[in-house]
Structure 1
Amino acid sequence: MTRIWLVVGVKEKYIASCSWGKDSTAMILMLIEKKYPLDEVIFYDTGMEFKAVYDVRDKIIPVLEENNIKYTELKPENPFWIDMLIREKKKRTGEIVYGDGYCGGTCRWHTFKKQAICNKYTKDSIVYVGIASDETKRLQKLDYNKIAPLSEWNMSEKDCLDYCYKHDITWEEDGVDLYSILDRVSCWSCRNKNLKELKNMYLYLPKYWKMLKGLQSRIDEPMKGEGKSVFELEERFKREVENENKK
């Protein structure tokens, strides 16, 4: 049965917010499959996504076109790397510094910019968001005009990934399934990646690891805190691999 939500004070325009990760991609395909109202799909492009994310986007856009669904990409005012490395800032002390550094943890400077741009674009619409049924904390924080259909359909994160695989949608780079080595396929430069994910990037995604080293060479603060710069982590991972090979 097709369910239509009516939100008081909001025009009946239905927009799906998509990152082209497993959850939001599964949500969009299921919205179409279940014939839910869907006028537009939006994607906020940081410019720092894995290539596999853009590949999935390019695979789904024709499906949107076939169903007369508008597709829109939103972008930051400045390229991500400009704000990260170059933009001039004046500290309270009067000192001039350049760039906001890594995004993640307690310093989510770009996350807030992304939210502001997306919220401004969708403020007069009903917004589908790809939050799975087992993401309870995120479900509790939904804004008044946001709907999480995956939760209603009882689709967990694993269910969403399985659904995408079943529909021949994969996130593959250099023969590696990203979801087999990463907990989340977020921006490749995200500071929130844990050490297991970073080690897997070092082992299986050398191109991105090289780019992480390039960023670290221009950012004074270690990516994962004191003693855990990308360069220090590389030495650590090398030792771990050597020890594993001795067993």
Structure 2
Amino acid sequence: MKAWRRATMIPSFSGGKDSTYLVLRLHELGIKMTDIVYFDTGWEFPHMEAHIAQVEDIIKQKITRLVPRESFDFILARKARTRNIQNTRQGYGWPSAMRRWCTGEKTRAINAYVNSLTWQGISLPAVQCLGYASDEPDRVEKHRAKKAPRFQCYAYPMVEWGISEEHALAYCRERGLTWGGLYGIFDRVSCWCCPLGGIAQAEKLYHHFPAFWQRMLEMESWLPEPYRQYAGKHSVSDLDKRFSGEAARRSHQPPQQAA
């Protein structure tokens, strides 16, 4: 940790519990953060704006906001996806575990921004601090295998501190951060339309945020029918029928008799 006090520390801030813990804890320890970088996909919950403002107020430092070069709506539905001369189609479709184009856009933008800072006389290497928790060993090992950009390196402070996801959330809540109740509904507060949360997260969105669910149905309509898979083999329309049917059946069930 002594080395961190002399280093160019640049946390990558998603706004979730882990990266929020990371930023608050570095501030609490008096470790200077040269910059803090947040990538706004355009698909974030609106609650995130108030959360970012609250974090900025606590640490007395502005968080740098980056945006994609092309909107995620455009990439989803319109950007040309070319595999070969004979195989070109419009739109990347919903992200998936094997095709996380959203993560790629975020990583490239943050790496490019941090690289731009290396030309401004900062101490090198620039240390990208990532909010990976100690109970995510597979995720950490997978990222450690990646080569850092030139003049940069990665650090995983929460792993070194032994901080779990549960601990991070409790720490943030103790400091008055609530995310507008999102963590009372979801395990993760990434993009509201993220398919990687599976059917369980989709069902929570369906019930708690119907306007966003309708927006997802609209987004699906932009895609050719063969490329509408959202969660496994299921499209958003498939899930809409499933959730509405389950809700209708529950509404017709007689109330449980008290024992």
- TM-score bucket (shorter structure): 0.7 to 0.9
Q: Which runs of 5+ in 2 are unaligned?
A: 116-124, 255-259
Report deviation, 1:159. Answer: 0.9
SS where residue 84 of structure 2 aligns? coil
Q: Does 1:12 align with 2:16?
A: no
- C-alpha distance in structure 1 between counterparts of 2:51 and 2:130, whole Å: 18
Mapped partners of 1:81, 1:15: distance in 2: 28
Q: Which position in structure 1 is the counterpart of 2:66?
A: 74
Which of 140, 151, 163 is the matching residue for 2:171?
163
Q: Which residue of 2 aligns with 1:192?
A: 196
For 1:88 and 1:133, the matched residues in 2 are separated by 39
- Pairing partner for 2:213 from 209, 220, 223: 209
Q: Which residue of 1 aligns with 2:230?
A: 223
Percent identity (aligned): 28
Q: For 1:111-146, what per-residue CA distance to the aligned partner results, in whole angstroms no more than 9, with x for missing partners? A: 112212222333540121111111111222335621
CA distance in 2, matches of 1:88, 1:135: 35
Aligned mates of 1:104, 1:17 — CA distance in 2:
22
Shift of 1:96: 4.7
> What stretches of structure 1 of length at least 5 have no aligned partner?
none
2:211 is paired with a residue whose SS is: helix
Does structure 1 conserve the Cα–Cα contact (< 8 Å) formed by 2:192 and 2:205?
no
Q: How large is the RMSD of aligned CA atoms in angstroms?
A: 2.1
- Alpha-carbon separation, structure 2, partners of 1:169 and 1:236: 34
In structure 2, the residue matched to 1:106 is 98
Aligned residues of 1:4 and 1:37 also touching (Cα < 8 A): no
1:240 maps to 2:246: yes
Higher helix share: 2
Match of 2:30 in 1: 35
The aligned amino acid for 2:154 is K
Are 1:53 and 1:171, in contact at CA under 8 Å, matched by a contact in 2? yes
- Taking a change above 3 Å as real, the CA distance of residues 234 and 70 of structure 1, as seen in their structure-2 partners, is closer
CA–CA distance in 2 between the matches of 1:162 and 1:39?
26
Paired amino acid for 1:74: L
The superposition leaves residues 133-162 of structure 1 with CA deviations (integer Å, 9 ceiling, x where unpaired) of: 111112223356211112222221111111
1:54 deviation in Å? 2.1
Match of 2:18 among 16, 20, 23: 23
- The alignment covers a number of residue pairs equal to 233
Deviation at 1:95, TM superposition (A): 5.2
Within 2, Cα distance between the matches of 1:56 and 1:70?
Answer: 13
Structure 2 length-normalised TM: 0.82
Is the aligned partner of 1:97 residue 2:101?
no
Per mean C-alpha deviation after superposition, the further-off stretch among 183-192 and 121-130 is 121-130
Matches of 1:149 and 1:45, distance apart in 2: 23
Distance between the aligned counterparts of 1:161 and 1:199, measured in 2? 23
